[in-house]
Chains A and B, each alone.
Chain A
Amino acid sequence: MKDNLARRKNRMGWGFFSPSVILISVMVFIPMIYALFTSFMAGPPVNMHWVGLQNYQAMFSDKTFLTAASNTFLYLIVQVPIMLFLAMIISVMLNDNRLKFRGLYRTAIFLPCITSLVSYSLIMKTIFAPTGIANKLLMDVHLIGAPIQWLTDPFWAKVLIIISITWRWTGYNMIFFLSGLQNIDTEIYEAAEIDGASRWKQFTRITIPMLKPIILFTAITSTIGTLQLFDEVNNITKGGPGNATTTLSQYIYNLSYKYTPNFGYATAISFVVVIAIVVLSLIQLKAGGEDK
């Protein structure tokens, strides 16, 4: 009798999540296995043949691939920490109950990631044109003597991409921090205040540890997002000047749809991205000490 009940409960548990498992299997893992086979093949899409590891070996001597890979990692190392730190600081500022117009500020900071990609890239290009508003502002406060060539200088083009991604995605990450901050009991802060802890101490000793799961989550999703970076680069700089701002994702896209289609090589590179994502996420999980 009891056994029966336990089994029925168990079956219910399986029923609750089997739709998800079926969907993920059919629409993620089956295509992925298919793609894995493709990465060992070469030739035009209708007539591909097996070439073993040739696609994977070719990458090491492919200059465009190496540039794209180093650009992608540069964006990752520089942009993700800046963005997450900003998102955390802003959400702590906004989490204050006494602050007026909270909803207004929250909406303003979140708005960029609502914006359609096409309009956002057009606007960024206009603002950062040689005679654009950004240069004018910087020259008026005498930070620079001559206009910066944001779109044609290899260094500043990368800076522009980093500014653009930060503009668009900080508010998005802020949402996760805000919902995490809701979970922290205000009594902890009150107790800390009575014990004489400064605001900075409260931030480093209470807020950051309590937000650890959220920091981990946003760090991993931002890492993945950056490794797949395509939209900004493709629309603002088109990867240029030369290949100065191009990313792995853009190169994959170009190999599939822009150049003579080379699905095998493109898929092989995409699997390198998968490996990078898995390795980096595991490192972050280890460093974050997620032991549950």
Chain B
Amino acid sequence: MIEEKKTHNVGKYILLTVGGILILIPLLVTLFSSFKTTKDIMANFFAWPKPFTLDNYQRLLADGVTHYFLNSAIITVVSVLLVMLIVPMAAYSIARNISKKRAFSLMYTFLILGIFVPFQVIMIPITVQMSKLGLANMYGLMLLYLTYAIPQTLFLYVGYIKMSVPVSLDEAAEIDGANKITTYFKIVFPMLKPMHATTLIINALWFWNDFMLPLLILNTDNKMWTLPLFQYNYQSQYFSDYGPSFASYVVGIVTITIVYVIFQKNIIAGMSNGAVK
């Protein structure tokens, strides 16, 4: 019995390791290439960087990557915070009232319907509308991210609250004299931690890497460019000079990977911290 379990586990490790390596090859190639001269990249795409060079990164810094990096960081952080402020609150009110009042289930359906709208449908009108409203800038982009994150994020929060935050907690708080706002911020919000981590990761990832919306909203002024817009233009600027471009991909990937590694623990750990089991 024990013997069987052991071989089973060895197989699992081998499978996961081989799979992991297969998955990582393309990323390792990106990393290696960022430390090679363009000539070496062309000569052998998959080789270890030899000689090792930091030229690509120095050129990247000289070309002002810091500014675009900060633009992206500000947009991502503010948008994620806005989502966390607006959406769980709506989810809480919907999850608690949906079975009692028809209006809430109607509104929930209305908000969820947004999932079904392909972006291509509203791509042209929204671009026109945002520039008419004077919002073809970073603030407009943040509002758009907040809005387009609502349907999916709301769906996840409502399901989670229904399953994992018992109504008895609200009632206990109310008996103690807490009003809805206090109950929400002091008791419900902290209990949603695993969901906060999940939605933070998926939304941050999207905001950070998104190419289409910044292209439509911010492309007019290169001071407002985000990192992906910079990468895109950088690639066409140095047409066949791959080195600095690979360095710029590494900067983007490493940043968001750090965010992921920090928050992924909370997806898992959060559950065991729940007040009621």
A residues lining the B interface (CB < 8 Å)? 9, 12-14, 16-17, 19-21, 23-24, 26-28, 30-32, 34-35, 38, 90, 93-94, 96, 98-99, 103-120, 123-124, 126-127, 133, 167, 171-172, 175-176, 178-179, 182-183, 213, 217, 220-221, 224, 227-228, 249, 252-253, 256, 263, 266-267, 270-271, 273-274, 277-278, 281, 292
Contacts and interface: CB of A to CB of B under 8 A. Distances in A.
Contacts of B26: 112, 115, 120, 123-124, 127, 167
Given A28-B148, A182-B267, A224-B116, 9 more contacts: A23-B146, A24-B114, A31-B129, A105-B20, A107-B264, A123-B26, A133-B25, A182-B194, A273-B120
Where chain A touches its partner, the secondary structure class is: helix
Contacts of B271: 182-183
Contacts of B159: 213, 217
Contacts of B23: 108-109, 111-112, 167, 171
Given A118-B232, A175-B202, A277 B116 contact: yes
Contacts of A252: 120
Given A31-B129, A108-B20, A120-B26, A277 B194 contact: no
B2 interface: no
A27 B163 contact: no
Contact of B118 (A17, A217, A227): A227
Contact of B27 (A19, A115, A228, A281): A115
8 contacts: A16-B92, A17-B107, A111-B24, A114-B253, A115-B30, A117-B209, A179-B267, A217-B159
A20 B116 contact: no
B125 interface: yes
Nearest to B181: A12
Contacts of A278: 116
The 5 closest A-B pairs by CB, nearest first: A17-B90, A16-B93, A31-B125, A31-B122, A108-B20
Contacts of A112: 23, 26-27
B111 interface: yes
B18 to A, nearest CB: 11
B104 interface: yes
Contacts of A127: 25-26
Interface in B147-183: 147-148, 150-152, 154-156, 159, 162-164, 179-181
Find the residue from B20, B94, B211 having the highest chain A CB count within 10 A. Answer: B20
Interface string B191-212: 0001100100110010001010
Contacts of B116: 224, 274, 277-278, 281
B115 interface: yes
Given A28-B117, A112-B27, A182 B268 contact: yes
Interface string B7-19: 0010010011001
B65 interface: no
A107 B89 contact: no
A228 B267 contact: no
B90 A20 contact: yes
A109 B23 CA distance: 7
A107 B256 CA distance: 12
B261 interface: yes
Given A13-B93, A179-B194, A113 B124 contact: no
Nearest to A17: B90
Nearest to A213: B159
Interface string B220-233: 00000000100110
Contacts of A126: 29, 45
Main secondary structure of the interface of B (DSSP, over half): helix
B122 A17 contact: no
Interface of B: 9, 12, 15-16, 19-20, 23-27, 29-30, 45-46, 86-87, 89-90, 92-94, 96-97, 104, 107, 110-111, 114-126, 129, 143-144, 146-148, 150-152, 154-156, 159, 162-164, 179-181, 184, 194-195, 198, 201-202, 205, 209, 211, 228, 231-232, 235, 245-246, 249, 252-253, 256-257, 260-261, 264-265, 267-268, 271
**Counting chain A CB atoms within 10 Å of each CB, which of B120, B155, B184, B194 scores highest?**
B120
A206 B110 CA distance: 33
B95 to A, nearest CB: 10
Given A108-B24, A112-B23, A123 B30 contact: yes
Given A21-B110, A123-B29, A256-B124, A113 B205 contact: yes
Contacts of B29: 123, 126
Nearest to A12: B180
Contacts of B256: 114
Contacts of A167: 23, 26
B273 to A, nearest CB: 12
Contacts of B194: 179, 182
A116 B121 contact: no
A99 B184 CA distance: 36
A20 B46 contact: no
A114 B205 contact: yes
B150 A20 contact: yes
Contact of A274 (B19, B90, B121): B121
Nearest to B163: A183
A17 B89 contact: yes
